[in-house]
Amino acid sequence: MSGDAQEKTALQAGDVYGPLMVTMLSDQAARKSSIEQRAMAVITTSGALVTLLVGLSGLLLGKDTELRVHAAPRAALIAAVLVFVAAAILALITTTLRAYLNFTMEDVDRMANEWDFSGAEARQNVFDAQKENLKRAVELNDKKALLLQIAIGIEVGAVCLVALGVVLTLI
C-alpha cells in the first residue's frame, strides 16, 4: 500500500474528537432540559403547598372565630409561605432563557467565505465553534444547577417551617 493510501485511511484526531464533541454538546442539552424540568417541579410543588396553606388557613380561621393561632405558629406559617415563594422565584430564574451559543448567520457567512478551505481546516473551525458552545453550555448549566439546588434547599426549609408551625399550634 502506498503512503498516500495509508494517509487517506488513517484516522486523524479530528475524526475521533468531532463525534465526541457532538456527544458532549448533546449531553449538555439533555442536562439543561433535566434541570429545567426539575425547576418546574419546584415551582409546581411550592405553588401547590402555598395554595394548600392559604386554603387551610381560610378554612380553619373562617369557620371558627374562637380559634386563635398564637404568634409563634402564625409567624412560622407566614414565613413558610414566603420561603415557598422564594423557592418558586429561584426555580423560575432557573428556567429563564439564557444565551446558549449556537451557530449564527455570521457563522454561516464565515463558512461560505471559507468554502475552499481544506477539510482539515473546516473540521478545526467547526471544532473550535463547538468547543466555545460546550464551554458556554457547561457554565450556564452549572449556574442553573446551583440555583436549582438552592431552590430545593429553600423549599425543604419551607416544609420545615410548616412542620414547626403545626407543632407549635398543637402544643
32-85: pLDDT as tens digits: 999 999 999 999 999 898 888 877 777 666 665 566 668 888 899 889 999 999
Give a yes or no: residue 37 inside a domain.
Answer: yes
Give the CA distances from residue 19 to residues 15, 83, 112, 126, in Å, rounded to whole numbers and listed in that order: 7, 45, 23, 11
Give a yes or no: residue 51 inside a domain.
Answer: yes
Give a yes or no: residue 118 inside a domain.
Answer: yes
- Give percent of the chain with pLDDT exceeding 70: 86
- Indicate the number of domains in the chain: 1
Give a yes or no: residue 95 inside a domain.
Answer: yes
| 10 pLDDT more than 80 | no
Give a yes or no: residue 6 inside a domain.
Answer: no
Give a yes or no: residue 81 inside a domain.
Answer: yes
Phi, psi angle pair for 146, to nearest 5°: -65, -45
Taking residues 121-143, what's their average pLDDT?
Answer: 88
Judged on CB neighbours under 10 Å (0-12, 13-18, 19+), 145 is middle
Q: Among residues 61, 87, 81, which one has the least CA distance to residue 169?
A: 61
pTM here is: 0.74
Give a yes or no: residue 2 inside a domain.
Answer: no
Q: How far apart are CA 78 and CA 50, in angstroms?
A: 10
Give a yes or no: residue 3 inside a domain.
Answer: no
pLDDT band of 133, cuts 50, 70, 90:
confident
Cβ contact 53:82 at 8 Å: no
Q: How far apart are CA 12 and CA 119, in angstroms?
A: 11
- For residue 132, give its domain range: 12-170
Work out the mean pLDDT of the chain and round it to a whole number. Answer: 83
Q: In this predicted model, which residue has the larger pLDDT, 139 or 70?
A: 139
Chain centroid to Cα 39, Å, comes to 6
